Homo-oligomer: A and B are copies of this chain.
Amino acid sequence: MDKILMGPQTLIYPMPALLVGANVDDKPNFMAVGWCGIANAEPPMISVAIRPHRYTHRGIRQNLTFSVNVPSTDMVRETDYCGLTSGSKVNKVEACRFRVFYGKLDNAPLIEQCPINLECKVMHILDLGSHSLIVGRIEETHISESCLTGGKPDVSKIKPLIYITAPAHQYQALGEVIAKAFSIGEELKARE
């Protein structure tokens, strides 16, 4: 066996690079988040892990709502910028030239340029140590019509941005299709 130990680590490859939005003191702000995950199917819920001192965290606590915006590869500059800077110091919406809109919730700001936008209501906040794990119920999903094929989301048009953690610290695109899910595994059924 060729395994080595690395101690407790959050080594998981890969994570989608997302922009989490909240109104802070009634103004829209966005932060880059790699630590999110789907939490539930019915009703649809998502979790995001955010350090409590972050400016966006303040807005989420103020309104108990937030948004999750999926940027495409052509938004890599804006996505990275939103992770480098704090809304307490700069107006990220202006610097990134985001066109902000609102949906079903009045106070969860959405980015028009992102192909997918989720509006979320906070259900749970778990304080785990360095981060709060915020679980939100997805109230509405917006998708850019240009990213649909036959009325359905088309990942080859969405072109999501994947964040690769340390030591690579880089964004990558999706690569080749390896196999169909719920299908390729059937080949092993002969071994049962």
Interface residues of A (CB under 8 A from B): 1-16, 18, 34-49, 68, 70, 73, 76-85, 90-91, 94-96, 99, 101, 103, 112, 116-118, 123-124, 126, 128-131, 133, 135, 137-146, 148, 152-155, 158, 160-164, 167-189, 191-192
Q: A12-B116, A172-B177, A175-B175 are in contact. List 9 more A-B contacts (CB 8 A).
A: A1-B99, A5-B141, A6-B141, A42-B129, A126-B126, A153-B167, A169-B180, A170-B177, A174-B174
Q: List 21 A-B contacts (CB under 8 A).
A: A1-B112, A4-B145, A6-B153, A10-B45, A10-B138, A12-B46, A12-B70, A39-B47, A41-B130, A76-B178, A76-B179, A77-B179, A77-B184, A78-B185, A84-B182, A85-B185, A85-B192, A95-B189, A171-B179, A173-B174, A175-B175
Q: What number of copies of this chain does the assembly contain? A: 2
| Nearest Cβ on chain B to A132's Cβ, whole angstroms | 9
Name A188's contact: one of B18, B81, B164, B170 (CB within 8 Å).
Answer: B81
